[in-house]
Structure 1
Amino acid sequence: MSHKISVVIIDDELPARNLIKAYLKKHNNIDVLGEASNGFEGIKVVQELKPDVIFLDIQMPKVTGLEMLEVIDNPPFVIFTTAYDEYALKAFELNAIDYLLKPFSEERFDAALQKAIDGKEKVNKKVISKTVEETHQLKNERLTRIVVKKGSELNVIPVNEVVYIEADDDYVFIHTADNKFIKSATMKHFQENLDKAQFVRIHRSYILNISKINKIEQYDKESYVAIVNENCKLKVSKSGYKLLKDVLSL
């Protein structure tokens, strides 16, 4: 990065954004293009302005920094600015240019900025997806929402609105009653992090929200079909049927 380096700051706390801007003012080769106070604004600013580097808070309301980053096409260099707990930080250490643990000194800030200027490591979407998965596992959280992008819009889908999830190579389709969204993620991630009392892997291709099932019909001798409605009938494998029986206490 020998040219003037463009930067966007995304943090829900104004004092944190102001501190970063104050530190950046001392660097003549930095051009602050804009800032955002949440993930929705953040994705719009990054996609419109295409900065070289983003300073990104992780814990933000509505959409986290990681969820935002996960749906950005061709993510820029990223420096996380976070008060996240030390266990989750272990998952981030190798997956971005750097992270700054709040409160951070100017010296520590300058060291992180220099890494971005040197441009030795660019964040990778698959790595970020993996980091999101690892974070849920480290914090032992159940997914309560899924963040996806459709066109230029960021969508936050509460999991109780998900009808089923369908495998498609390196992607999944998230089906709701009214829409279908594509996301770069694994079925394994959803199988491990969704509530197992609500979501069942009924087939290698499907994870189904059991509250959406209308009925289960036998298809042939050892196979079944889960019927959501007239237009949504999903194959149930032998192992999937056993899981359904256990969860539904049939």
Structure 2
Amino acid sequence: MKVTIENIPPGSEPEIIIRCNEPDESLMKLIYSIKSTSKKLVGIMDLQMHIINLNDVFYFEAVDNKVFIYCQEKVFESRLKLYEIETEYEHWDFFRASKSTILNISKIESVSPILYGRFEALLQNSEKVFISRQYVPVLKTKLGL
């Protein structure tokens, strides 16, 4: 892939032009990541709203009609529903791991098969998250297996 950067006159709006034969998945992922840098993920903790970088999110989990955002050491509450998060961030490294969990693939350290076709993901923060058997094929596709 060839990358060209041109200087523009001061005050001009930056522009990105992509020339390709057929946009593949990696190119589309790059486009979505560029577009979504302006998106903000808001989490609530101790009655304060916090802006969260998507790269810091390990997983989202729905518990008792509330959605929580799990980061390295902190847990925030989200005002979004799980299906809204899934739709909003499907082009990132997030995927539905179970009925109540959306997992960040880039935070997985290892994956192990367990009983009845389910998998267990060990995350970089040493937490373990289960992947339901119906979502294992999605994980394999995302990992290119």
For normalisation by structure 1, the TM-score amounts to 0.41
Q: AA paired with 2:40? A: R
Q: Give yes or no for the alignment of 1:146 onto 2:45.
A: no
- Following the alignment from structure 1 to structure 2, what is the Cα–Cα distance between the partners of residues 219 and 181? 29
The one of the two structures with greater contact order (alpha-carbon pairs below 8 A, sep at least 6) is 2
Q: How many residues align?
A: 111
Match of residue 86 from structure 2: 191
Find the partner of 1:160 among 28, 37, 55.
55
SS in 1 for 2:58: strand
- Following the alignment from structure 2 to structure 1, what is the Cα–Cα distance between the partners of residues 56 and 72? 7
- Give CA-to-partner distance per residue, 1:192-240, whole Å, 9 cap, x none: 0014341010111110110000011011241110110474111111121
Distance 1:155 1:205, change over 3 A: same
Distance 1:232 1:146, change over 3 A: same
Q: Give yes or no for the alignment of 1:210 onto 2:105.
A: yes
Match of residue 201 from structure 1: 96
Identity %: 26
- Following the alignment from structure 1 to structure 2, what is the Cα–Cα distance between the partners of residues 141 and 161? 15
- Give CA-to-partner distance per residue, 1:25-62, whole Å, 9 cap, x none: xxxxxxxxxxxxxxxxxxxxxxxxxxxxxxxxxxxxxx
Aligned structure 1 segments of 4 or more residues deviating by more than 4 angstroms? 140-143
User: How far did residue 164 of structure 1 move?
Assistant: 0.3
- Following the alignment from structure 1 to structure 2, what is the Cα–Cα distance between the partners of residues 230 and 150? 20
Unaligned runs of 5+ in 2: 1-34
Which structure's CA Rg is the greater one?
Answer: 1
Contact 2:72/2:125 (8 A) holds in 1 = no
* Coordinate RMSD, CA, aligned: 2.2
Whose helix fraction is larger, Structure 1's or Structure 2's?
1
